[in-house]
Amino acid sequence: MKLKLARTTLKAKPKMIDLDKIEDELEKQSIFYFDKDNSHKEMIELIEHFEQREYSVYMREVKYGLDDNEYIYEVHIVQ
């Protein structure tokens, strides 16, 4: 499964990342920010994937503006 990382600017296109790359990055970081273009279903699949591997996963929506569509997903993955 490929997910879109959060945009670094409002006009930038989100970069793609797959689950294997996320697992590799877990050695360096435990917090990931994903773009709002990812569906909620995809985010739930991400959580279930890591929970099956016995990680603790916490996800929340972070609003960065007043509009309801101005948010990103913040995901903490801890072993």
Lowest mean pLDDT among 20-24, 51-55, 68-72, 74-78: 68-72
What mean pLDDT do residues 58-79 have?
A: 93
Identify the band that residue 65 occupies on the pLDDT scale cut at 50, 70 and 90.
confident
pLDDT for residue 9 is more than 90: no
Rounded to an integer, what distance in angstroms lies between the CA atom of residue 79 and that of residue 54?
7
Q: What percent of the chain has pLDDT over 90?
A: 84
Rounded to an integer, what distance in angstroms lies between the CA atom of residue 18 and that of residue 7?
16
Query: In total, how many domains does the chain have?
Result: 1
Do residues 60 and 74 touch, judged by C-beta distance below 8 A?
yes
pTM (2 d.p.): 0.91
Helices (H), 14-68: 19-25, 40-52
| Residue 58 structural domain | 2-78
